[in-house]
């Protein structure tokens, strides 16, 4: 199933240098155009970082801290913007320290699990290097953060976009953030920047992969009825009922046969074109009569016989059958759930709880259809009705159905007048996923 992905878009950034008082504070403005749900990535670079405790503003989560001993440190943070963000965010440390940093806004980021992977490295050279990481998903945004312990500017790595480049001035530090799209999952490779001037500098660098927001998958297409429904009513002192049913061309097919009988036993076996069918979980001796349904995955196409064998039908008794073929059905687990209820009089109603979207709810009522007794009307469109009125039996098998868009608890059934006995069987046919 195709899953649509919302691409990550990088937006505005804000930068600042620290104020050196008794407590050093780095105050970063909220980037322009921040909206609720945006992802904010902050970078704080300190001239001397090892062993220094940085107090981050409320709501920010540290991604990674990378210390080049006590020379320079880079710490990255993230948060998801709420509906009422402050205009500024303040990081602070005890004592007089030099700090620079920035915040970059991103949209289209997974708000629940935004960071896929991150790694850091340190060194002394003119080429700060954010070490390669391996992403787990396609379409991630790769961010590289660089910090040096002196006044410098940066040339970004090839193929990456610089979001900001800021120096404290004087003895530093300086920092830069760049980003790029990683189209496919896998190794990103080292991201190498170049500092201005000719001298080597102590540096710390990080590479961070940000996950994109995955839209919910589209629901599967529902099962659909293939061709015509076959119905038959049989009154005979025999133990085998045979009738033909035609299956047209289609994919991911499922044959369902619903049966009812007033015989002294349930039907024992059912076949289609000589292939054994599976009896549904909902079956047994009901209020009105014995009820069953049978199903077969990937039935042979064309016109073939359905053969139902009973254990005890030595007398002429009313039996009714219907055969329905569905397309686009899950072939591994075609029946998502089923159920049965029965009574004498009252409105037939049954609760089903499909666990996937767009199941097809097929339900059928076995009942005494003598007009002097029960008259039934299903809530959903009627698919078939097969009556058996021979020898005064007055039995019926009436099927109805609908596509159930949502998963979860739902009801099937209808209204009835009169006091005749009935049994209602419901089946949730699972769509191919």
pLDDT digits (tens, 9 = 90+) for 406-422: 999 999 999 988 888 88
Which DSSP category does 174 fall into? E
Question: What six digits make up the tokens of 259?
Answer: 């049966």
Q: What is the pLDDT of residues 141-197, one digit of tens each?
A: 999 999 999 999 999 999 999 999 999 998 999 999 999 999 999 999 999 999 999
Q: State which of 187, 214, 241 marks the end of a domain.
A: 214
The b/e string for 293-321 (b: 16+ C-beta within 10 A; e otherwise) is: bbbbbebebeebebbbebeebeeebbbbb
- Count how many domains the chain has: 2
In a shared domain, residues 191 and 228: no
C-beta of residue 12 within 8 angstroms of C-beta of residue 30: no
Q: Is the pLDDT of residue 81 over 80?
A: yes
Distances (CA, A) of 120 to 67, 116, 198, 208, 306: 9, 14, 24, 9, 68
C-beta of residue 402 within 8 angstroms of C-beta of residue 358: no
Tell me phi and psi for residue 390, to 5 degrees. -65, 150
Residue 96, classed as helix, strand or coil, is coil
In a shared domain, residues 203 and 244: no
Model confidence, pTM = 0.63
Q: Say how many C-beta atoms besides its own lie within 10 A of residue 323's C-beta.
A: 24
Banded pLDDT at 281 (limits 50, 70, 90): confident
In a shared domain, residues 166 and 189: yes
In a shared domain, residues 229 and 200: no
Q: How far is CA 9 from the centre of its chain?
A: 23
In a shared domain, residues 207 and 228: no
C-beta of residue 144 within 8 angstroms of C-beta of residue 178: yes
Instruction: Give domain status of residue 146, yes or no.
Output: yes
In a shared domain, residues 165 and 230: no
In a shared domain, residues 187 and 240: no
Banded pLDDT at 425 (limits 50, 70, 90): very high
In a shared domain, residues 233 and 338: yes
Q: State which of 156, 182, 214 marks the end of a domain.
A: 214
Instruction: Give domain status of residue 127, yes or no.
Output: yes
Please tell me the predicted confidence (pLDDT) of residue 4: 41
Residue 357, classed as helix, strand or coil, is coil
If we measure between CA atoms, which residue out of 96, 93, 105, 91 comes closest to residue 27? 91
In a shared domain, residues 54 and 85: yes
- Rounded Cα–Cα distance for residues 203 and 67 (Å): 9
Q: Which position has the higher pLDDT, 263 or 25?
A: 25
Instruction: Give domain status of residue 231, yes or no.
Output: yes
Q: State which of 185, 214, 243 marks the end of a domain.
A: 214
In a shared domain, residues 23 and 57: yes
Q: Is the pLDDT of residue 3 over 60?
A: no
Instruction: Give domain status of residue 199, yes or no.
Output: yes
- Please give the average per-residue pLDDT across 67-74, as a whole number: 94
| pLDDT > 90 in the chain, percent | 70
Q: Give the side-chain half-sphere CA count within 13 A for 291.
A: 26
Q: What is the pLDDT of residues 207-238, one digit of tens each?
A: 999 999 987 788 999 999 999 999 998 877 77
- Please give the average per-residue pLDDT across 393-402, as a whole number: 87
Residue showing tokens 């979860």: 408
Q: What is the pLDDT of residues 285-333, one digit of tens each?
A: 766 577 789 999 999 999 999 998 877 655 556 788 999 999 999 999 9
Tell me phi and psi for residue 278, to 5 degrees. -100, 130
Instruction: Give domain status of residue 324, yes or no.
Output: yes
If we measure between CA atoms, which residue out of 398, 254, 220 comes closest to residue 320? 398
Q: Is the pLDDT of residue 72 over 80?
A: yes
Identify the bridge partners of residue 352 per DSSP, sorted by sequence position. Answer: 410
In a shared domain, residues 380 and 347: yes
In a shared domain, residues 247 and 207: no
Instruction: Give domain status of residue 219, yes or no.
Output: no
- Rounded Cα–Cα distance for residues 188 and 357 (Å): 38
Please tell me the predicted confidence (pLDDT) of residue 261: 74
Q: Which domain holds residue 328?
A: 224-429
Instruction: Give domain status of residue 362, yes or no.
Output: yes
């Amino acid at each position: 199933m195709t899953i649509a992905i919302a691409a990550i878009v990088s937006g505005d950034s804000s930068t600042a240098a620290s104020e050196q008082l008794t407590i050093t504070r780095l105050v970063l403005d909220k980037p322009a155009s921040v909206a609720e749900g945006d992802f904010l990535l902050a970078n704080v670079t300190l001239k001397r970082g090892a062993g220094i405790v940085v107090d981050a503003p409320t709501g920010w989560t540290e991604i990674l801290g990378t210390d080049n001993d006590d020379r320079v440190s880079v710490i990255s943070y993230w948060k998801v913007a709420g509906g009422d963000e402050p205009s500024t965010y303040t990081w602070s440390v005890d004592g007089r320290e030099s700090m620079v940093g920035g915040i970059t806004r991103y949209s289209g980021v997974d708000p629940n699990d935004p960071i896929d992977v991150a790694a850091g490295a340190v060194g002394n050279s003119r080429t700060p290097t954010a070490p390669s990481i391996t992403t787990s998903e396609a379409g991630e945004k790769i961010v590289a953060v660089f910090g040096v312990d002196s006044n410098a500017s940066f040339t970004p790595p090839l193929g990456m976009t610089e979001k900001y480049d800021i120096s404290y001035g004087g003895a530093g530090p300086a920092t830069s953030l760049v980003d790029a799209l990683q189209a496919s999952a896998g190794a990103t490779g080292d991201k190498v920047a170049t500092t201005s001037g000719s001298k080597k500098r102590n540096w710390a660098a990080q590479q961070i992969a940000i996950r994109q927001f995955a839209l919910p998958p589209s629901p599967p297409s529902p099962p659909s009825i293939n061709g015509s429904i076959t119905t038959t009513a049989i009154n005979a002192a025999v133990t085998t009922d045979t009738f033909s049913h035609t299956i047209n061309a289609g994919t991911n097919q499922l044959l369902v046969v619903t049966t009812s009988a007033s015989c002294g036993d349930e039907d024992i076996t059912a076949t289609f074109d000589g292939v054994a069918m599976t009896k549904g979980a909902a079956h047994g001796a009901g209020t009105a009569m014995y009820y069953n349904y049978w199903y077969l995955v990937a039935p042979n196409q064309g016109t073939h016989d359905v053969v139902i064998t009973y254990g005890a039908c030595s007398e002429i008794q009313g039996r009714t059958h219907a055969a329905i073929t569905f397309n686009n059905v899950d072939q591994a687990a075609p029946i998502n759930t089923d159920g049965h209820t029965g009574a004498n009089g009252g409105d037939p109603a049954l609760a089903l709880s499909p666990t996937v979207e767009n199941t097809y709810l097929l339900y059928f009522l076995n009942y005494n259809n003598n007009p002097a007794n029960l008259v039934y009307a299903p809530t959903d469109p009627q698919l078939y009705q097969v009556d058996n009125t021979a020898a005064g039996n007055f039995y019926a098998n009436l099927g109805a159905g609908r596509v159930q868009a949502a998963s979860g608890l739902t009801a099937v059934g209808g209204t009835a007048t009169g006091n005749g006995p009935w049994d209602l069987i419901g089946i949730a046919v699972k769509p191919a996923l």
